Amino acid sequence: MQEIVIRRPDDWHLHLRDGAMLQGVLPETTRHFARAIVMPNLVPPVVTARDALAYRERILAALPEGAAFEPLMTLYLTEGTDPADVAAAAASGLVKAVKLYPAGATTNSQSGVRDLTKVMAVLERMAAIGLPLCTHGEVVDPAVDIFDREAVFIDSVLAPLRRRLPELRVVMEHITTEEGVAYAAEGGETLGATITTHHLILNRNHILAGGIRPHYYCLPVAKRERHRLALRRAATSGSPRYFLGTDSAPHVDALKEHACGCAGCFTATNTLPLLAHVFEAEGALDRLEGFASRHGPAFYRLPENAARLRLVKRAEPAVFAEKILTGAGPVTVFDPGFPVYWHVQD
């Protein structure tokens, strides 16, 4: 197959940052995606409906001329979050999910949750109104190996929470392990899982073998090859439990190439050609539309996009920008390390 047409995709996990960085990276997403679940981990975080409205207005003001893009807003769950404010934000249509960050788990997560019992009133209200909880699924206990944090989170946090609140709709964001794949597969209609572009391509050797490569460092960190293969099987399976969330996360090069480098891969620019490459390699091009364009809207109870996007395979490899130059500084675009012959047909 040399060509495939899919419904315009959505990104169900995206970092846009703010200010000059927002203005610089937003066009990379709006070029191909119709909607995106926008992460709330700004400084200070997006905690209230008022915060979310103000952030949405800044995103809309930064849209390139003529762009048709809808930011889907989220709230950052803290131990002081007001259940009534969350419910009102959801009822207004402004907020589509609430994000659980275990405190200290990833970028700008210091305001996250340390004691889940302190947010049960919020979670109970969310369960009652059907508002999804998006989870960064890692424990932060320093005694737990970083490569085991997702599996331990499932066993010690997520599974008990879902037993207590079985009606709570949960998205396991950026799953990276066989355990995550298996748990999502058995979770039923109240559970979904996003998979990133880069976790379909990277294993931990890409980060560490032959030297440290900071632009491949992300959280959750890429795992062993068997986990990457499990993610590829899940993404290309056609199961509605799995859908695309790029977790595209821009950091300026100076903070990535640093003694304590920031976590995140910036994939907004080239996700669609990379996904076509992966799905073709797995013999599953016919399932790409489900993963990128249909399963996410179904879980979030939103309509599928009417517009279409065309991907064409050509003889010459695609050439992606090496960096995006923003007012905050240069951001390196994810390099898959192999030629990609799929192009988005403009």
Catalytic center residues:
247
Cα–Cα distance for residue pair 70/30, rounded to 1 Å: 9
Q: Which pLDDT value is given to residue 111?
A: 80
Q: What digits encode the pLDDT tens for the residues 26-83?
A: 999 999 999 999 999 999 999 999 999 999 999 999 999 999 999 999 999 999 999 9
Cα–Cα distance for residue pair 113/102, rounded to 1 Å: 5
DSSP-derived letter for residue 325 is E
- Mean pLDDT to the nearest integer, 262-281: 98
Q: What digits encode the pLDDT tens for the residues 235-261?
A: 999 999 999 999 999 999 999 999 999
pLDDT at 95 over 80: yes
Residue 174 binned pLDDT confidence (cut-offs 50, 70, 90):
very high
Number of C-beta neighbours around residue 205 at 10 A? 13
> Going by C-beta distance under 8 Å and a sequence separation of 6 or more, which residues neighbour residue 216?
198, 202, 206, 207, 222, 265
Q: Which pLDDT value is given to residue 108?
A: 66
CA distances from 23 to 27, 72, 246, 295 (A): 8, 17, 19, 29
Cα–Cα distance for residue pair 57/104, rounded to 1 Å: 28
Task: Decide: helix, strand or coil at residue 194.
Answer: strand
Q: Which pLDDT value is given to residue 21?
A: 98
Cα–Cα distance for residue pair 202/337, rounded to 1 Å: 10
Q: What digits encode the pLDDT tens for the residues 118-131?
A: 999 999 999 999 99
User: In percent, how much of the chain has pLDDT > 90?
Assistant: 96
Q: Which pLDDT value is given to residue 332?
A: 98
Structural domains in the chain, sorted by start: 3-345 (3.20.20.140)
Q: Which pLDDT value is given to residue 104?
A: 77
Rg value, the chain, Cα: 19
275 or 112, greater pLDDT? 275
Task: Decide: helix, strand or coil at residue 323.
Answer: strand
- Mean pLDDT to the nearest integer, 8-19: 98
Residue 1 binned pLDDT confidence (cut-offs 50, 70, 90):
low
pLDDT at 177 over 70: yes
Q: Which pLDDT value is given to residue 105?
A: 73
User: In percent, how much of the chain has pLDDT > 70?
Assistant: 99
Q: Supply the mean pLDDT for the chain.
A: 96
pLDDT at 162 over 90: yes
- Mean pLDDT to the nearest integer, 79-91: 97
CB 263 within 8 A of CB 217: yes
Residue 109 binned pLDDT confidence (cut-offs 50, 70, 90):
confident
